Amino acid sequence: MPLSAPDSDPSVKARLENYPLWRALVERRSRRFGMGMRVPGGPLAYQSRFPSRPLSEEEEGALAFAACGITGYALADLCYERGKGGNMIGGLVGRTVASGDALQSVAMAVINDSATYFLRRPQDMTAKEVEEAIGLAKEGAVVELYRRARVKLADRRCTPPVEPVYNLNMNEWSAAAQGSTYFLPINDLTPMYINGLLDILNETTGVYILDERAGFRPAGLARFARSKGGHLDDDPRKGRVATIELVERLVTEFVTLEQGMMIQNLGLAAQGLGLGGFPNFANHEFGWFEALGFRMGRMPASQYLGAGRLISLAMKLTGKDSQVPYPLGLERDCQVLLKASCPPYYESMTAAVRSVVETKFGASGVFRGSPLSSAWQSPTTVREMVPPISEAAIEATAAYCEYVWQRYGRFPAYLAPFRTAIGYQATHLDAEFYDRFYRPEALAETQREDFRRTTSQRATDCADS
């Protein structure tokens, strides 16, 4: 199609504000082929005749905000009567996506050709920084928000190998393409895990957890069993007996749902901006974490998998008990950006549990700190009536967590503390590829406008040089 310069170059904010949500829902597609890219073979073999062009800082900032921007205070409209679960809330700040217990359990890395960044979450900021971020969000100041939130991890594109099993065959041709920006959600599992335990191991819910890989023996909770005079219901007929695997699967699924909302928001925002983009495989146990420079732990595969003694011995004798790396935290310039709620960041699992309680009900906690920023008209009145977590629930949670740590040498028992599942790669599309192989409706007008704007800008740049 002939290229022509657009009549105007609307700002990113205007592009998003003027794009109806309904259209974004209808027209959103996974569009992969960006400027400068090449499909090496097959019926869609094609080489772009344009050089790659990176996203602008404003475009990256808008996408980052869509994925995880701070927008205001969580309403936390729950029943705070004792035993009704309101005190399960772990934060009072809201982002563009919902978060279980308002914990903001998913972090984000942003990766382009020239740099790799970590985006700070509400809990990584001071109260003043959060207030300022909320004000900037109302103004639509996406670049300033982006600059304030990000911490540079490297002056380059950090990425794991692109071949399987780090990647899927279907994505190998496009992975880490020059000019693209990659958004990588990172699930932070342990705070959610401990916070959930504090609720299900209390006197009201009274769940009793068994270790299915140890003959279904109590997972450190024997002395808390109701049959022994405790508060946890160990009668399987009552339906409150669970296993470690079940509890950890629920935590993982809950946090991953938050990640899915981020990916959807990225897709809708990319559509509104006229960019290409697509979700893709990032589900590798340690590849991304090693690439990003996480602090890693290591243990024999037999221990990592929770194998029994005989299987572990057989793996050792046959030379198959290789070391498995797993992420523990992210640190830069003596600053801890992410840390698992377990050793080595805490001296014990009991200390980790107490720390989670402290973030909620300590002197500077969510429900006890002063001043308390929130959506409530009378926050002091509300917080004074929020009941603290019972000591019985804290002790049971600590006993369970200590059991998992002592038996499996890590926490959680089945997964690493951090996990990646899916990422989102955004780029400026090459409209000529789609015109060559697809019907006209494959691209929405926003993508065609972006292509005209981008190629027009390139022509201007070439003329100026």
pLDDT tier, 2 (very low <50, low <70, confident <90, very high otherwise): very low
Around 221, how many Cα atoms within 13 Å sit in the side-chain half-sphere?
Answer: 34
pLDDT at 101: 94
Distance of alpha carbon 343 from alpha carbon 224, whole angstroms? 25
pLDDT tier, 1 (very low <50, low <70, confident <90, very high otherwise): very low
pLDDT at 373: 82
Q: Name which of 281, 277, 269 is nearest 32 in CA terms.
A: 277
pLDDT in tens, 125-146: 999 999 999 999 999 999 999 9
pLDDT at 252 over 60: yes
* Domain layout of the chain by residue ranges: 54-427
pLDDT at 369: 75
Residue 106 has which token pair? 């998913």
Within 8 A by CB and 6+ apart from 268, the residues are: 21, 24, 25, 28, 66
pLDDT in tens, 139-188: 999 999 999 999 999 999 999 999 999 999 999 999 999 999 999 999 99
pLDDT at 412 over 70: yes
In whole numbers, what is the pLDDT of the chain averaged over residues? 93
pLDDT in tens, 271-293: 999 999 999 999 999 999 999 99
pLDDT at 457: 72
pLDDT at 371 over 70: no
Distance of alpha carbon 183 from alpha carbon 187, whole angstroms? 13
Q: Taking residues 247-269, what's their average pLDDT?
A: 96
Q: Strand 181-188 relative to strand 418-419: parallel, antiparallel, unpaired?
A: antiparallel
Q: Is the Cβ–Cβ distance between 270 and 276 less than 8 Å?
A: yes
Least confident of 185-189, 227-231, 330-334, 361-365: 361-365
